[in-house]
Structure 1
Amino acid sequence: MLPLLTSRLLLRPIEADDAPGMFLLDSDPLVHRYLGGIGGAVVHELNQSVATIDFIQNQYRENGLGRWAVLHRETGEFMGWAGLKLVTDEVNGRRDFYDLGYRFRPEFWGQGYGYEAAQAWYNRGFNELELPSLCAYADVENLASCRILEKIGLQRGNIFMEGGTRCRWFERKRPGLSQ
């Protein structure tokens, strides 16, 4: 699959060399503020980020999808990740769905990067991959993330508990398919 380019971002598969950037992301307690039981624990060693990258790369091999690195187009700096993944475990009474997710380092919050990356994956998921639907969920208290998911076109659903965290469900069938 070709990399995704937006006006400010380059999105590409995560590589082993991204481990230091992943460590900066996943070792930051602010990043985990709204993840609770849904996003894993704060990491303390680089080898944990290496293991995360191995896990993501295995998703590429098994499902052809997974989270991708988000780099700043001008500087090449690792900002976080975004992408689609096939969720086979049960979440909110559902399984085998395509989850749209993103996570950014705090210095990139509030600048529209999350929206830009999410919109790029929404478009790829429906227009290029022709997926039947896209889903996402976020901590109900993470108002910024919930706003992004609605702004890209996902529809607000129910509130449910996941890993001890109150989450909001979002979903959209591919435009043109019967709702």
Structure 2
Amino acid sequence: MNVTLRLIKEEDLPHIQHYLSIEGVSRMTNVPEPYPTNGAREWYEMVSEEHQAENHYPFAIIADGEFAGSISVRREQGDIGAIDYWVAPPFWKKGVGTQAAEQAVDFGRNELGFKSFETCCLIENRGSVRLLEKIGFQRGKEFLIGSGEKHGGKMARVYYLK
């Protein structure tokens, strides 16, 4: 599949709302589940503000011309970046997320000057673990997510890319 990234546009919101409202799509992410009826709009407004401050770059993942998910590049601190992503079900297990993550990291390095990246995911999220390791992220510390958080009581791991 031909995968490209472009900044999120307002016209992407119906796709975001649709896919994240499908049961299970946001299960392994920090996205609320069930997804609120105005979730895409609220997210767009938040990331647009962060983008204006040059701290967050929200991209649409486009696979063979179709909206396939979202990946964000954000500034953690200084020259350290992070990526957050989700892929729509029709594009699972097709390498779309891997290609998008590689492009997001390249953007962070080449356009934003990030020297390294860190991100985390649930240990049970085998798809994200594979994706991160495939593009060179190294395993870091494991931690228990606190109660009161969406994934409270589950184990997560930090991943680093130098």
TM-score normalised per structure 2 = 0.85
What one-letter code is carried by the residue in structure 1 that aligns with 2:57?
Answer: G
The counterpart of 1:41, out of the listed 28, 33, 44, is 33
What one-letter code is carried by the residue in structure 2 that aligns with 1:22?
Answer: I
SS of residue in 2 equivalent to 1:121: helix
In structure 2, the CA distance between the partners of 1:152 and 1:28, relative to structure 1 (3 Å rule), is: same
Is residue 133 from structure 1 mapped to residue 116 from structure 2 by the alignment? yes
Shift of 1:111: 0.4
Identify the range of structure 1 (17-26 vs 56-65) with the bigger mean alpha-carbon deviation: 56-65
RMSD: 2.1
The counterpart of 2:50, out of the listed 51, 59, 63, is 59
Which residue in the other structure is 1:153 paired with?
136
Q: Does the 8 Å contact 1:30/1:106 carry over to 2? A: no
The counterpart of 2:60, out of the listed 49, 69, 94, is 69
Q: Does the 8 Å contact 1:86/1:97 carry over to 2? A: yes
Which residue in the other structure is 1:143 paired with?
126
Is residue 172 from structure 1 mapped to residue 155 from structure 2 by the alignment? no
What one-letter code is carried by the residue in structure 2 that aligns with 1:54?
Answer: E
SS of residue in 2 equivalent to 1:32: coil
The counterpart of 1:16, out of the listed 10, 14, 19, is 10
SS of residue in 2 equivalent to 1:29: coil
Shift of 1:170: 0.3
Q: Does the 8 Å contact 1:136/1:149 carry over to 2? A: no
- Within 5 Å, give how 1:80-95 maps onto structure 2: 80-87=69-76
The counterpart of 2:91, out of the listed 98, 108, 123, is 108
SS of residue in 2 equivalent to 1:129: coil
Q: What 5-or-longer segments of structure 2 have no aligned partner? A: none
The counterpart of 2:21, out of the listed 16, 27, 34, is 27
Shift of 1:87: 4.1
Matches of 1:151 and 1:142, distance apart in 2: 14
Q: What 5-or-longer segments of structure 1 have no aligned partner? A: 1-6, 89-94, 174-179
Aligned length: 156
TM-score normalised per structure 1 = 0.78
What is the CA deviation profile of residues 27-48 of structure 1, one whole-angstrom value per residue up to 9, with x for unaligned ones? Answer: 122212223xx33333241x32
What one-letter code is carried by the residue in structure 2 that aligns with 1:34?
Answer: M
SS of residue in 1 equivalent to 2:75: strand
Shift of 1:159: 0.9
